[in-house]
Amino acid sequence: MDRLTPAEEQVMLRLWKLEKTTVKEIVALYDDPKPAYNTTSTIVRILERKKFIKHKTVGRGFIYSAKISKEKYREFLAENLLKNYFDGDRKALISHFNSKGSLNELL
């Protein structure tokens, strides 16, 4: 699995929220100023090529849905964070967040 670019991630967050959707509906979920329809459509095609999403033809349009769940991508990111920044050491990861006070805020 590849890591998503920030723009791809923003599209995926909206797609996960909507589950099955069109490019027009994805664009509608952005705050103003909204990205151009064509820009979003290009990102959707890239995500499909990367096998993150799939489409179904409905009439003359397409309905898109995720092939990779948000949870699966979150696991991928967490494992990469652990591997690349903490040498696979879970204790070091927990210690880092604990030293920043992040864990205390959760409890």
pLDDT band at 101 (very low <50, low <70, confident <90, very high): confident
**DSSP β-ladder status, 53-58 and 61-66:** antiparallel
Tell if the pTM clears 0.95, that is, is over it. Answer: no
Q: What mean pLDDT value characterizes the chain? A: 93
- Other residues' Cβ atoms within 10 Å of the Cβ of residue 23: 21
pLDDT score at 8: 99
User: Which bin fits 87, alpha (ψ -120 to 50), beta or left (φ > 0)?
Assistant: left
Residue 96: what pLDDT? 84
- Structural domain spans, the chain: 6-66, 70-106
Neighbours of 64 (CB within 10 A): 24
Residue 53: closest CA among 40, 69, 77, 38: 69
The architecture CATH gives domain 6-66 = Orthogonal Bundle (1.10)
